[in-house]
Amino acid sequence: MQSVAKQKMMALAGDEAVAYAAKQSDVDVVAAYPITPQTIIVEKFSEYVANGEVETEFVCVESEHSAMAASLSASVTGARAFTATASAGLALMHEMLFVTSGCRAPVVMAVANRALSAPINIHGDHSDSMAQRDSGWIQLYAENAQEAYDSIIQAFRIAENLDVLLPVMVGLDGFTLSHTLENVETLLDEGVKEFIGTRQFPKVLTHEGKTVPFRLDPANPMTVGPLALQNYYFEFKRQQEEAMENALAVIQQVNSEYAKISGRSYGNGLLEAYRLEDAEVVAICLGSTAGTMKTVVDALRQDGVKAGLLRLRTFRPLPVEEIQSALAGVKAVAVMDRCLSFGGNGGPVFHEVRHLLYEAASRPYVVNYIYGLGGRDTSPTELRSIYENLQRIIQTQRVEKPIQYLGLRD
Amino acid sequence: MTTQEWKFTTKDIAAKPDLFLSGHRACAGCAPATVLRLIMKATRGPTIVTESTGCMEVVSSIYPYTSWAVPWLHTAFETAASNASGIEAALKIMKKKGRIKQEHVDVIAFAGDGGTYDIGIQALSGAVERGHDFLFVLYDNEAYMNTGIQRSGGTPHGAATTTSPAGSVIPGKLEYKKPIADIMVAHDMPYVATASPYYWKDLLTKVRKGLEVEGPAFLHVFAPCPRGWRSNPAKSIEYSKLAVETCVFPVWEAVSDEYQLSTPSKLVALAPQKKKPVADYLQGQGRFRHMFKPQGKKLLEEVQRITDERWQRLLMKCEMAQKP
């Protein structure tokens, strides 16, 4: 933190913080479609365009499917592309999410996390982005508006890193973050510009035998998005997986470089350990719930309970080794899912955490909490009950109900 | 560069290097492949092509080979127009920011009938409404040929496809071909035209006009498919001619919504006695075989009636209808 740059404090809702970060990131093309609770992002960005505050082509597309198609095409042409969506919008993009990561287009997208229909519900949960976890996108989840702002800026650096070249989605909880005003420390425009830099392109060998920057350029014809059959498709996919593996180091590096200019970091960029040193009972969660959870942990600590919190900031790529070592010595773990995997025996975060603990030196008890679907409020009292249950599990030495529903009407 | 500078003579065409190269894996007698090759001959400078999923995409880009001597992007089935939107937006801003060398880059989007009439129409309508500067080319082989000849919104009335077979109860496709070019004219766009590869000079001129207009242009190109039509591969270009002569597929253009018949169709309008019966065009195509059996007589008459009606409507739009 030796040279933290001058910053400006602003009162911003999460969506506004995202739009402001995108503005400062000098994006070339924004192709987006409105959907609650993401709308403020596109509205705010439209204002920047209308007032000449950004040099950006804003494409008011007719659907999220086209939003992603246009973003990806702009990116492949050489532009820095940004978009934002939520819920049904993200679901409509589903097909194009795979194409974007497959074309190695470093598009950055904010997702104001929201429940999926039916019944229709505009409030926060993680069903939308969890359903896209195999789409080849890096996924970061923000705890507050400040982190949403910081993560968008970092996302461009991560996505455009030549060892990565993958799209990044930054999740912020619908309404809880998207629409709630917070004090947000913002970097100056110049600082952001310098941090992100201009977009670099990897050099690739074309069919003409030339080594040229990877983008659609009439001076160097290139075929992008071809048909690859049994003989080549598999290698393309393996390369994407390698890029995900590379992203683990890049996310950490970007997190620490960002700390140098802002004074802010989020754990090691992958996960944030809160009072984990000697913890026996630990909850794992994503997003804004961590904020409330930290106050609960503090209260429990005051009562002498060895409670801790592990916040997963990066869900894709999953930081397997980091989670394993963070949980070493922990006796009981509660994995919180703001999403259901119907018929899947628990939520997605639970599946993955319990799976990686199979190889741990000492396996803790693991229990899954499904909570907060459709914006259902989660109180500190309810969160405290999770730790109480973990203590009970340690005492009785058995997990009676591995999958629990928090705050559900009986 | 303008249309006048380049005359589209056979000599010029032959001299211009191909941008859609040979070696692709299209079937024998594939008119869409001919159409693409001809269209790329009419480009005027730096060009980026995007293509929807379909026959021409799969035959031309089998990794690690390509038939494209221009930058080319494929993303999905319904995205030809949304890709073009993103490419055009990127070119515009990168030009403004001084990040590209070229003075101007043309954007062409190719899609088949499935990628245009059906799954791609939303993206197309949106892109045209937003006014992106690009040329959308529909190569219409009148069914989903790439997946094995299933009916589309562009399949004509009565045609047998694998999802509208000519059965003992239902005689092929019951619905009518969607008037896609008229739908595009209704978007109040600067340039809409239809073309047939038999009249290749007319086709090339229309491509160049479409590229030259500021804003979106739509070109509907007739493109016989011998596999899907169950027709002789040697006759694809002949069918392209017959479709115009029978008025099944008249050629016209609408510049800023003003309809005008192009010469091949204008000649038919001026000499109605030369208008050929639809049977001349339908005969020999396996997809219409059932129309030439005794029980198909009514259907054949129906196709003639629809063709005449649509032709009359077009003549009225072109202010060439005969006074009763």
CATH number reported for the structural domain that contains residue A242 in this entry:
3.40.50.970
Token digits of residue A183:
């004090």
Judgement on whether residues A254 and A282 belong to the same structural domain of the protein: no
| Degrees to nearest 5, angle at CA B195 with B194 and B200 | 160
For residue A255, being part of any structural domain is answered with yes
Interval B283-311: pLDDT, tens: 999 999 999 999 999 999 999 999 999 99
Rounded distance between C-alpha atoms, residue A235 and residue A231, angstroms: 8
CA proximity to A21, closest of A200, A215, A264: A264
- Whether the CB-CB separation of B111 and B80 falls below 8 Å is answered with yes
For residue A2, being part of any structural domain is answered with no
Judgement on whether residues A354 and A386 belong to the same structural domain of the protein: yes
Q: What distance in Å separates residue B87's CA from the closest CA in chain A?
A: 5
pLDDT computed for residue A121 by the predictor: 98
Provide the domain count of chain A. 2
Whether A105 has its CB under 8 Å from any CB of chain B: the answer is no
**Cα B142 to Cα A263, B111, B113, B243, B264, distances in angstroms:** 62, 12, 6, 13, 21
Over residues B191-196, the mean pLDDT reads: 98
Say whether B136 sits in a helix, a strand or coil.
strand
Q: How many residues does chain B have?
A: 324
Interval B197-241: pLDDT, tens: 999 999 999 999 999 999 999 999 999 999 999 999 999 999 999
**Cα B63 to Cα A152, A233, A246, A385, distances in angstroms:** 34, 9, 25, 56
Q: What distance in Å separates residue A174's CA from the closest CA in chain B?
A: 28
Least CA distance to A68: which residue of chain B?
A: B82
Token digits of residue A186:
């913002």
Judgement on whether residues A124 and A254 belong to the same structural domain of the protein: yes
The two beta strands, A57-60 and A29-32, are parallel
- Whether the CB-CB separation of B72 and B61 falls below 8 Å is answered with yes
Interval A180-227: pLDDT, tens: 999 999 999 999 999 999 999 999 999 889 999 999 999 999 999 999
Judgement on whether residues A111 and A175 belong to the same structural domain of the protein: yes
Judgement on whether residues A321 and A344 belong to the same structural domain of the protein: yes
Judgement on whether residues A257 and A330 belong to the same structural domain of the protein: no
pLDDT computed for residue B7 by the predictor: 72
Averaged pLDDT of chain B: 96
Least CA distance to B125: which residue of chain A?
A: A62
Rounded distance between C-alpha atoms, residue A296 and residue A308, angstroms: 9
Domains belonging to chain B, first-starting first, are 3-317 (3.40.50.970)
Token digits of residue A348:
């997605």
For residue A221, being part of any structural domain is answered with no
Judgement on whether residues A63 and A98 belong to the same structural domain of the protein: yes
Band (pLDDT 50/70/90 cuts) for residue B5 is low
Judgement on whether residues A25 and A122 belong to the same structural domain of the protein: yes
DSSP letter at A402 equals: S
Whether A232 has its CB under 8 Å from any CB of chain B: the answer is yes
- Whether the CB-CB separation of A113 and B89 falls below 8 Å is answered with no
Least CA distance to A61: which residue of chain B?
A: B126
pLDDT computed for residue B6 by the predictor: 63
Q: Give A368's strand partners.
A: A335, A403
For residue A226, being part of any structural domain is answered with no
Judgement on whether residues A332 and A293 belong to the same structural domain of the protein: yes
Query: Could you count the other beta carbons within 10 Å of the beta carbon of residue B248?
Result: 23
Which residue is associated with the tokens 């006074």? Answer: B323
**Cβ separation of A78 and B126 shorter than 8 Å?**
no
For residue A348, being part of any structural domain is answered with yes
pLDDT computed for residue B8 by the predictor: 83
Judgement on whether residues A169 and A252 belong to the same structural domain of the protein: yes
For residue A29, being part of any structural domain is answered with yes
Rounded distance between C-alpha atoms, residue B213 and residue A230, angstroms: 42
Interval A236-262: pLDDT, tens: 999 999 999 999 999 999 999 999 999
Q: Nearest by CB to B69, which of A61, A219, A221?
A: A221
We report the CATH number of the domain holding residue A354 as: 3.40.50.920
**Cβ separation of B129 and A77 shorter than 8 Å?**
no
Rounded distance between C-alpha atoms, residue A405 and residue A338, angstroms: 10
Judgement on whether residues A174 and A240 belong to the same structural domain of the protein: yes
Say whether A91 sits in a helix, a strand or coil.
helix
Over residues B252-276, the mean pLDDT reads: 96
Which residue is associated with the tokens 């995900």? Answer: A244
Written as one string, the DSSP assignment of A307-364 is EEEEEESEEES--HHHHHHHTTT-SEEEEEESS--TTSSS-HHHHHHHHHHTTSSSPP
Averaged pLDDT of chain A: 97
Band (pLDDT 50/70/90 cuts) for residue B3 is very low
- Whether the CB-CB separation of A109 and A82 falls below 8 Å is answered with yes
**Cβ separation of A69 and B79 shorter than 8 Å?**
yes
**Cβ separation of B90 and A96 shorter than 8 Å?**
no
Token digits of residue A156:
């461009």
The two beta strands, A138-141 and A168-173, are parallel
Which residue is associated with the tokens 């993680």? Answer: A126
A1: amino acid identity, one letter:
M
Judgement on whether residues A244 and A275 belong to the same structural domain of the protein: no
Token digits of residue B190:
């600067």
Question: A310: domain range?
Answer: 271-406
- Whether the CB-CB separation of A390 and A354 falls below 8 Å is answered with no
**Cβ separation of A226 and B61 shorter than 8 Å?**
yes
pLDDT computed for residue A12 by the predictor: 98
What does each of the 410 residues of chain A score in pLDDT, given as a tens digit?
456 878 999 999 999 999 999 999 999 999 999 999 999 999 999 999 999 999 999 999 999 999 999 999 999 999 999 999 999 999 999 999 999 999 999 999 999 999 999 999 999 999 999 999 999 999 999 999 999 999 999 999 999 999 999 999 999 999 999 999 999 999 999 999 999 999 999 999 998 899 999 999 999 999 999 999 999 999 999 999 999 999 999 999 999 999 999 999 999 999 999 999 999 999 999 999 999 999 999 999 999 999 999 999 999 999 999 999 999 999 999 999 999 999 999 999 999 999 999 998 889 999 999 999 999 999 999 999 999 999 999 999 999 999 999 999 98
Least CA distance to A199: which residue of chain B?
A: B99
For residue A227, being part of any structural domain is answered with no
For residue A206, being part of any structural domain is answered with no
Rounded distance between C-alpha atoms, residue A124 and residue A406, angstroms: 15
**Cβ separation of A219 and B102 shorter than 8 Å?**
yes
> Is pLDDT above 60 for B1?
no
A308: amino acid identity, one letter:
G
Q: Which residues of A touch B105 (CB under 8 A)?
A: 218
